[in-house]
Amino acid sequence: MADTIVTSTQAARVITLSRAGVELVLDLEAGYPTVLHWGAPLAGIAPASLRALKDGGIPHSDLDEPVDPGMLREAARGFTGRPALRGHRGAIGFSPLFAVADVTALDDACTVRLVDGALELGLELRVALSPEGVLLIDATLKNNGDTTYTLDELAMWLPVPDRATETLDFTGRWLRERQAQRLPFAPGLRLRESREGRSGHDYTIVQCALTADTTTEAGEVWALGLLWSGGSRHLAERAVTGRGALGAGELIEPGEAELAPGDAYTAPTVAAFYSEDGLDGLGARAHAWLRSRPTHPSSPRPVTLNVWEAVYFDHDLDTLSRLAEVAAGVGVERFVLDDGWFGSRRDDWSGLGDWEVSPEVWPDGLGPLVERVRALGMQFGLWFEGEMVNPDSDLYRAHPDWILQVPGRVPPLARHQLVLDLANPDAYTHVLEQVHAVISEHRIDYIKWDHNRFLTDPGHVGEAAVRRQTEAIYRLFDELRTRSPGLEIESCASGGGRIDLGMAQHADRFWTSDQNDALERQQIQRWTSLVIPPEMLGTHIGPTISHGTGRRHGVQMRAVTALFGHAGIEWNLLEATEDELEALRGWTQFYRSHRGLLHGGRTVRVDHPDPSAVVHGVVAHDRSAAVFAYVQCTTTAGTSPAAFRVPGLDPDAVYRVHAHEFETPATVQRRAPAWLDGLEVTGAALARVGLRPPILWPEQAVLAVVERVS
């Protein structure tokens, strides 16, 4: 379809984008962009009527002619909240006032070009609505003047309706990422910042606004997320007028966006999500959007064994070969050698930066292990932490100036390491060429790329460089994949410290958390998968006694938990019993036969009446099958647990439901519920009556498998 260009001389300009049950009505009549509506379609209401509905009159305490602050929220129009754009030309040029110059409109996208003649700035906004109903907002600011313009912030904002009275975002720490916090959408500004130079363990991924009655299955949700892995801001503000809005943008470090005459700054893309089907509706929309990318992993996600919690730094060819044999025997499809294979890396004190195979540990190189793994029918993966360097390394001794730093001082160490300055072309080339050499020599299938510390004094030749560092790692990942077609990359940052919508465009998998305790994993996985599809989230069966908490869990609890993601194992299988190995064989077989459903269906988080339990599952889009987990986290209030519902199936169809066990879960009962051995029942009954779980010990789980019979 040809572009439709609308000039600034036309008085009435309203652009409506509508797809997949989402509608944006962008009003340009006043000469700047305001949002008349973002949410469910309004059945073709006339713009004049919509403006009238939004008109709240004029209170005595306001401007004589109050105006909608619009997407730019400019103080020059009388807005007293946080503006979208903050910057200056020294002591002047601090208060922008943009006007629309022209508009290019399509059915599913529009580009609005604005100018501020007094400040000599140009701003281009592009808003596109994806086939899945996700709004993607891009902005580029250009300095048209003859002096430098200092940009402090450029965020994208969208208003939310008054009925959005609560916010939802996520906090966390190492071993405990993505913990939900739901709060009143109170007057004032709620600001979630990431200042780590990476998204961080406390990163929220999206900032949500929702109605008070919103659950996982029903109600309305509006959310903004940032396609960026560096410093970030997610904001929710309710103004003194009572109106609420969400914002997101890059956290620009001082001096990072000094725009010389003719220079431009392009902000990271903001993704905006709307759902009228609760939080699961938001997740379904986000998953569909991410799955639609040409780069999204399309091959079945292989059962992965990572050796970190099996051997740590104790690398030995014989031990690892025997571990590979046992792994292949239980159905593992990818074997990953973790930290400790290179340079002087016998512990975490030395060797980072020297990406050459250690002759001390591997006198014959990695070849013998790689060949053994491949002979067993498995892919081979390898660990790197290419953005980091130990002071005790050949690289640092040769090039101590290659680190991110403020001139004249060395940043404090974290995990005995510093951060390489990838904006330095020589440092970037060193990492790229050394890593590529190892990958190409051994035809590595997969790399686990770690990032074990946050950035401190992130300077490049004295200038703040978080933005350039972030762009460099994107560029490096893309180049590695170009040089080695088929290479897959896992983003790890001490677990879930760099999981964001930006890295999702460059990596194939995230290590969800260093926490492999199955109980702790319930909330971590539940909320990380709100936006990130489960096939991109590493979910491993950890050791019997968790290395993160000291808890002991049987195979059943760990297996059910690890099933709902890109499944794998993080356990020294040489120490497993034959019964445990047999349980693992059954688990990998179940995973392989159901991963099409697990990685392509609709994720469901059931609102369960008993807070002692967690219920979740995946339902096929054609409603032909489902897999649900009931996890007993603590003891129940009653002697018999509350029934858990299985929503999302065809209410008129008949299904066979039965329990699947990898190991017999511990129970406190004389007789098990009747459905465990198999029962035929309608989808309506499963959704409304539900299934009564067995009376489980705490930290036990049961798996319900549902298949349509008619």
Q: Any idea which residues carry the catalytic annotation?
A: 450, 514
Q: How far is CA 410 from CA 253, 393, 406, 414, 468, in A?
A: 19, 16, 7, 12, 20
CA-CA distance, 215 to 389, in Å (whole number)? 45
What CA–CA distance (Å, rounded) separates 465 from 423? 8
If DSSP states are collapsed to H, E and C, what string results for 393-455? CHHHHHCHHHECCCCCCCCCCECCEEEECCCCHHHHHHHHHHHHHHHHHHCCCEEEECCCCCC
- CB-side neighbour CA atoms (13 Å) of 209: 27
CB atoms within 10 A of CB 18: 17
Neighbours of 165 (CB within 10 A): 18
Give the N- to C-terminal CA distance of the chain in Å, as an integer. Answer: 44
Is the separation of the CB atoms in 473 and 422 below 8 Å? yes
**Cβ neighbours of 152 (radius 10 Å):** 14
Helix axes 466-483, 425-442, angle to 10 degrees: 30
Q: Residue 56: name the closest of 186, 240, 221 by CA.
A: 240
CA angle (707 as vertex; 701, 709 as ends), nearest 5: 150
Beta-carbon contacts of residue 217 (< 8 Å; ≥ 6 apart): 277, 278, 280, 604, 606, 607, 647
